[in-house]
Structures are given as C-alpha cells and as structure tokens.
Amino acid sequence: MFAQVLSGTPYGVEARLVEVQCDVGPGLPGFTIVGLPEKEVSEARDRVRSAIRNLGLEFPQLRITANLAPADLRKEGAGFDLALAVSLLSATGQIPRARTGETVFLGELSLDGGVRPVRGVLAVALAAKSAGIARMVVARESAAEAALVEGLQVFPVADLAEAVAFLRGEKEIPPAPRVIPEAPPPDWIDLALVKGQEHARRALEIAAAGGHHLLMIGPPGAGKSLLARCLPGILPPLSLDEALEVSRIHSVAGLLPPERPLLRWRPFRAPHHTISYVGMVGGGHGIPVPGEVSLAHHGVLFLDELPEFDRKVLEALRQPLEDRAITVVRAGVSVTFPASFMLVGAMNPCPCGHLGDPLRPCRCRPHEVVQYRKKLSGPFLDRIDLFVHVPRLSKEELLGEGGGEGSEAVRKRVMEARAIQARRFSGKLHTNAEMGPREVKKFCVLTGEAKGLLARAIEHFALTGRGYVRTLKVARTIADLAGSDTIGAEHVAEALQYRAFPEEGAA
Amino acid sequence: MEGKQAEELAVQYLRTQGMRIVARNWRWRGGEIDIIAKDGDTLVFVEVKGRTSPEFLSPQEAVDHRKRLHLWRSAQAYLQGKPAVPVRFDVVAVTPAGIHHIRGAFQEEDVRASA
C-alpha cells in the first residue's frame, strides 16, 4: 500500500518540490519519516497522528514509512504535515489516489486537524507553476499569497477534514481568485518638507533615476536621514514582476503579512548599525534565510552612521554592491539570494560631526578623523556612485518655509528617465547602475568635449577603472534626466561633482 | 485481583470482542507474553494488568518503558520467521469496576523514545 503526493520547501528564495511517499505495510506498528528531516519534520508524525485521529479517521496500526524525496535535500519546517497526512490516508485507501495527483500540498497541521499557514508559500507556488503543476492545496490564510501565481488553481482549506472531503469529491471548493491587491503608498516623507539642500536633493534624484549608490556626508541634524527617508517616495512603484520577486523574498523570510500578500511598493530597509553579519547578508541555522541586503531587493538599503557598522558587515556588502546578488554558504548548503538594492549611506565627516562646519569648531584630533574615515575601506568607497556633502542649514534656510519641490514632481522626472532606460535595455536591465562593461561601451557615448574633460578628471581625481566606469554610468543617468541621447561635457562635469569624497573644508 | 484470574477474565473479554486467542503465556528465554490473539488479520499482543483499585489507568502508567521494551522484543522473537502480518499492542486492565481495553497502546516510537 503505497501512495505519493507532492509538497515543497523554500530553498533560498526559490523552492524545491518534494515528493512525499508513504508506504503502509504489515509488521510492528510504527511511523518513521526518512529523507533528511530536521527535528520539526520528524515531529510531524505526532501532529499527523493526532490530526487524523481527531477527525474520526482511522490511523492505521501498521508499519508506516514516509520518505521525503529527494533524500539529499535538507527538509525544514512543518509545511510537510498536510502532504504527509494526505499521502498516509491515500496509502490506506481512505482517499482515492486519483484525486491527489498533480497537486502540491502545503501546510502545518495542528492537533485538532486545523491547517495552519507556513512561510514561503509564494516561493513554493512559483516552483509548482514552473514544474507544470496545476493545483495546490494550502491553508486558508496562505491562499491569497499562492493565488498570485498565474495559472495555478489554489484550493484553500481550513482543516484536514475539508481537505479530505475535497479529495473524496464530497465537497467542492472554489479556487481562490487571483487578486492583485491595490496598496495605498506608505506614509513616506515628502521632499517638500526638506529645507534647502539643493545639491543633495539633486543627487537624490540622480540616484533614484539611475539606481545608483549614494553616500551623504554631513554634520548631525543637517537632514541626511530625512533625505534618505524621502527616497522611496520618488522611486517608481514596483512592476508586477518585481513585486512578485520582492514578495517571494519576504515570504521566505516569513515577513509577508497574510492580508497583503503582494508588496507593491519598494522596500526601505534601515537596519541599525549593531546588525550582525548574518542579519545583513543572510544565513542562520539550517537552510539560510535572506538578510537585509535581500529584503532590500529592488528597494533601498539605508545605513545610517555608516562607519559605526562592523567592518566585516560592510565588507560583506562588496559582493552584492557589484553583483546584485549574494551567495551564502552554510554547512553544505549554498544559496544565492538576489540583492539588487540602492545603497544609501549617511555619515558624519568626523567623530564629533562638526568638521568643516563654519560655526561650530571640530573637537576631533586629526588622527581621530583619519581613524574614523579608515573604517570605510577603499574598495568599499570605490563602489559608491555618488558622494554628496550635506552641510548645516543656514539661518535663512532654517527659518524659510521649505518651499522645495514635492516628491510627486521629482518622481515624474525619475520615471521618465527610467522609461528611457527601460527602452534602451529592452527589459534585460532596469537601471543604468546595472550596466555591465558591454552595455557601458555600447550606450555611454561621449561627445568629444566630454571625452577631454573626463581624461583630465582621471588624473585629477585619481579615478580607478571602476571609478571611471561609475562616473560614466552616473553621467549617463544625468543625460537621461536631461533627455539627451549622447553624454555631453555638462553631464560629465556634474557626474564628477559627486565623485570626490569631501575632504576637510570641501563644503 | 490476582494475575491468573485477571488473565482469565481478559481472555473471556477478548473473545466477546470477536478476537481469536492464539496463545497464552507464550514464553521465550527473554520472558513472557500474556496473551497473543488475532483480531481479523491483525496479530495482537496483549498485556494484562490486574488491579485491586477501581480506577482505570492511563496507558502510560499501565505499561512503563521497561515493560514496553520487553513486550516489543518478545513480539519480535515471536514473529521471527513468520510471514509478515499487521501487528498491534493492546493493554487490558482488569479492575473490580470493570475491564478497560486500550487498543494500539503503543508503537515503535514510544519504545524507541524510552530506550
């Protein structure tokens, strides 16, 4: 008496389908689960047994062997409970076998037979779809999340009894409708509230338009954090594909709210500077879970007080800043998470924060300043596209009515520039920042004048190869904002303004 | 209630439940099984508990870890070389208040967890 049904488990941000096989035979009674189960999977047998008994169904006093295939994949979580129960009932003939095929079962069982939601439903649903599976049975709370996948019939069940009635054909369950939820934009700070800081506002706009990494340097209270928090409001909303990608990552991390299964707005992650290495890049016990760099995928990773972060944590950002993905290796498991985020850093020019301030003297000794700056390595800084100084506000600016442009107007320009980029890359890339060497060569066409300016700048700023390419990409974005096909001298000149790490008195 | 008397009552009770007695006090060098019976196709190993107090016992109390392991090993010895059949472990508690029959009192993982 053998039966087999399908289930799945998140693996990185992807998911793998798992065959849950069940063999029931004569012999000394027992229930064994094999196939590299972690503790919570082995505990499934107690939940499955109680759930089946409490429904008034028969739990066989026989030798039961359940196998989770492929056997070399580590199985975590309670998501296999439902599949185990169904395959067991199917093996003992309590559910007709024909009805369980081509269906993925995912859910945790409670002792009274209730089906509970698990994390990573969206990832498993996407894996099911790409494997050509047509149907999925999940907990009621997970249904909206799974139903986001087009072409997949999702049947929500409240408990095992409902699932059994459905599989016996005694009860019709309408498939969950595919609802793309409308989400009102979160309560972002509007750029109109930022006083002064024209230079920084412009830098923010360029960064948003081209997806560039930005570092703001300035004294405390100048408005660095405020500016950063305006950024999501001037970014275009996620496309549906991007929204699914982002939601899948948050689903695997167990951060997706069940009532809003699709994240429509760009994530803004602002981890505190005490964050651990694992918290930043991902990892943890067993199969790695995504860290902040991946949770900020297609969004903004804001690191306030940049030099206060652990050096190891910052150096770990080098790979995702370059490759837009991060590979996490844990005891025998290697997982690559997407991590295409915009890095926005904020820092003071020195430990006391007042270096270069015309009104307040800096109290730091020179070696302290050097020490402070040294926390950011050259290779790390080399990956930043835009450096911008955010000076203290003048009396007039502070007392003024603000009066800057609102986020709405800026977002319109950003979206226009992004539309130009989308046409240019015909869907393969999203932003200028993502260009590889081939695209840079093809799309960053300079006028003769711009070439000459850049040639002088290479010497003056001691640009590295990478710095040179970054300047080109930023100039490309500035040209896009201006609606220009070729990159002119004025675009290069502006890009170069954001190239230098401001030194003492550079304000 | 004495052991012999309790076993006799248990046997009568099991017969009323439609079970066929295969062996009583089956011995091997490792010990003894009180009753071996057939319930349909299922081979049932029965442990009989005589009690003078009228309260029913939980299966956990009725057969402790050592006893379960003992029954398990005895069952394995009995099944040695016989064709595979479904197997069950029952406990019958005989008390002045009546007979309490626990079907499927334990299974493999209950034995392993205690071993």
Return the number of CB contacts < 8 Å for A and B: 42
pLDDT given at position B58: 57
Which of A226, A250, A228, A227 has its CA nearest to residue A238? Answer: A250
Range of the domain at B22: 3-114
What whole-number distance in Å separates Cα of residue A92 and Cα of residue B62? 30
A64's CB contacts (< 8 A; 6+ apart) are: A22, A23, A24, A30, A31, A32, A88, A91
User: Taking CB atoms and an 8 Å limit, are A45 and B85 in contact across chains?
Assistant: no
Q: Is the domain defined by A191-423 classed in CATH 3.40.50.300? A: yes
Name the DSSP class of A65: E
- Nearest CA to CA, how far is B96 from chain A (Å)? 29
Q: Which residue of B has its CA nearest to A46?
A: B109
Give me the residue from A27, A31, A45 closest to B87, CB to CB.
Answer: A27
What number of other Cβ atoms are within 10 A of residue A132's Cβ?
8
B57 touches B100 (CB < 8 A): yes
What whole-number distance in Å separates Cα of residue A235 and Cα of residue A185? 11
Mean pLDDT to the nearest integer, A475-501: 91
pLDDT band at B113 (very low <50, low <70, confident <90, very high): low
What whole-number distance in Å separates Cα of residue B103 and Cα of residue B45? 10
% of chain A exceeding 70 in pLDDT: 98
Q: Which residue of A has its CA nearest to B77?
A: A28
A62-119 pLDDT, tens digit per residue, is: 889 999 999 888 888 889 999 999 999 999 999 998 888 899 999 999 999 999 999 9
- Nearest CA to CA, how far is A30 from chain B (Å)? 4
Which of A214, A245, A200, A256 has its CA nearest to residue A339? Answer: A245
pLDDT given at position A295: 95
pLDDT band at A507 (very low <50, low <70, confident <90, very high): very low
Is the pLDDT score of A25 beyond 90? no
Taking CB atoms and an 8 Å cutoff, what residues of chain A touch B89?
Answer: 29
* Mutation target among B68, B108, B110, B112 for the A interface, most CBs of A within 10 A: B108
pLDDT band at A19 (very low <50, low <70, confident <90, very high): very high
In this structure, what CATH number is given to the domain that contains residue B39?
Answer: 3.40.1350.10
User: Taking CB atoms and an 8 Å limit, are A29 and B104 in contact across chains?
Assistant: yes
- B72 CB near a chain A CB, below 8 Å? yes
- Asked if the ipTM is above 0.90, the reply is no
Radius of gyration of chain B (CA): 13
Mean pLDDT to the nearest integer, B34-56: 85
pLDDT band at B27 (very low <50, low <70, confident <90, very high): very high
pLDDT given at position A59: 86
A149-177 pLDDT, tens digit per residue, is: 988 999 999 999 999 999 999 999 999 99
Q: Which residue of B has its CA nearest to A30?
A: B108
- pTM of the complete model: 0.81
Which of B53, B50, B47 has its CA nearest to residue B35? Answer: B47
pLDDT given at position A479: 95
Q: Where are the domains of chain A?
A: 2-167, 191-423
A443-459 pLDDT, tens digit per residue, is: 998 999 999 998 888 88
pLDDT given at position A127: 94
A220-267 pLDDT, tens digit per residue, is: 888 899 999 999 999 998 988 889 999 999 988 888 887 778 888 899
What whole-number distance in Å separates Cα of residue A284 and Cα of residue A333? 11
Is the pLDDT score of B114 beyond 50? no
Is the pLDDT score of A415 beyond 80? yes
Higher pLDDT, A169 or B57: A169
pLDDT given at position B115: 42
Domain count of chain B?
1
Is the pLDDT score of B60 beyond 80? no
* Domain A2-167, CATH class in plain words: alpha beta
Average pLDDT of every residue of chain A: 89
Alpha helix ranges (H) inside A383-436: 395-399, 407-425
A102 touches A153 (CB < 8 A): no
β A2-11/A14-25 pair status = antiparallel
What whole-number distance in Å separates Cα of residue A272 and Cα of residue A275? 6
What whole-number distance in Å separates Cα of residue A295 and Cα of residue A297? 5
User: Taking CB atoms and an 8 Å limit, are B108 and A28 in contact across chains?
Assistant: yes
Is the pLDDT score of A34 beyond 50? yes
Radius of gyration of chain A (CA): 27
